[in-house]
Amino acid sequence: MERIPVAEPVLTGNEKKYVNECLDTGWISGSGKFVTGLEEQFAAFCGAKYAIAVFNGTVALHAALLALDIGPDDEVIIPDLTYIASANSVMYCNARPVLADIDPTIWTLDPDDVRRKITPRTRAIMPVHIYGHPTEMDPILEIAREHNLRVVEDAAEAHGAEYKGRRIGSIGNVATFSFFGNKIITSGEGGIITTNDEGLAAEIRILKGQGMDPKRRYWFPIIGYNYRMTNVQAAIALAQLERVDWFIERRLEVASWYNEELAGSGVTLPVQAEWARNVYWLYSILVPESVDRDHFMQQMDAAGIETRPFFYPMHVLPPYHDAAGDEKYPVSTEMARRGVNLPSSAKLTRADVKRVAAAVRQALEQQVKIR
């Protein structure tokens, strides 16, 4: 049977038309109408005042932290369970990522552990809206106000997710998104930064363009970076953004099918908190504690279905290794050990989901028989 990938882009809108316009007009580099259009429309989509397009989601985080003046000896609190770009972007600033555990239900940053990690050097908190579910932001914002900290939302996986009716990207001081090929909307590579702070937006624009003064061409008052998104990337992203509601609705539909097909299977299904809108970037499950997760994934692969594990906790990775981390971060350790992401493309049909669910049940039953 045809293999089902864990993620696959859908490029059936105006992507080709807009890219061809870039080629026909010669506007292929870091400026053009598609860059401008993407920034304006994405800001409106998030309910933010400003959006700045950049080359990818990782440089979006770096530029945001730089604009907040995060530097040597500063500390930024991040979740232990996240993609490594969250930690690396802090290190790029010569600052220190401080790990905190996650909530056992929604798998995002645990505010209680954040409080325990505050020190005189803490400058910012970086909640990560993982796998499409938003972090509970009010407690994070309260902690930030109490300690005069900045809040950087890593929203790489959460286009369109909502917290208490507000779209992610307009809640913290600044938010960053990724347009990598497996994201809800994509430009292959690419990213964008949103904020309601005019001064912060202006600083990010200078930083992403080699530090050039916007009012004095080729005058560079600061050291900047070449983090510009190309007009070609923006053309693809804008075409995707035109259909973002459809992309989200498809993921919600796929998630509802999984919920029905996997009910009573023994796996822990992803949740949606009462205050949240989960956009299910990936449909993420936890296998039972008694199941060998890696063997389960091998069984799924043999059935022609690609899966992927949850991210490794930061504390087990060599650059951020903490020998006592399993005890310090018990929830992220356990979730990472049992977590599996199932195919979640907008291309999936009900028959595809039924096939995946049947393979999940069969793999679990086989492990039970072996024991």
Q: Give the tens place of pLDDT for each residue, 292-310.
A: 999 999 999 999 999 999 9
The CATH label, of 3.90.1150.10, 3.30.930.10, 3.40.50.1370, 3.40.50.720, for the domain at 244-370 is: 3.90.1150.10
Q: Give the tens place of pLDDT for each residue, 160-197.
A: 999 999 999 999 999 999 999 999 999 999 999 999 99
Return the CATH number of the domain spanning residue range 15-241. 3.40.640.10
Q: Give the tens place of pLDDT for each residue, 224-275.
A: 999 999 999 999 999 999 999 999 999 999 999 999 999 999 999 999 999 9
CATH 3.90.1150.10 in the chain: give the residue spans.
244-370
Q: What are phi and psi of 255, to 5 degrees?
A: -60, -40
Contacts with 298 (C-beta within 8 Å, 6 or more apart), sequence order: none
Handedness of CA 131, 128, 275, 200 (dihedral sign): negative
Q: What are phi and psi of 107, to 5 degrees?
A: 70, 20
Residue 239 and residue 18: Cα distance in Å, rounded? 7
Q: What is the pLDDT of residue 327?
A: 97
Contacts with 255 (C-beta within 8 Å, 6 or more apart), sequence order: 270, 278, 280, 283
Q: Give the tens place of pLDDT for each residue, 343-369.
A: 999 999 999 999 999 999 999 999 876
Handedness of CA 352, 107, 50, 28 (dihedral sign): negative
Q: What is the pLDDT of residue 1?
A: 82
For the whole model, what pTM was predicted? 0.97
CATH 3.40.640.10 in the chain: give the residue spans.
15-241
Task: Take residue 290 and report the two structure tokens written for it.
Answer: 């008694």
Q: Give the tens place of pLDDT for each residue, 80-134.
A: 999 999 999 999 999 999 999 999 999 999 999 999 999 999 999 999 999 999 9
Which SS3 state, helix, strand or coil, does residue 158 take? Answer: coil
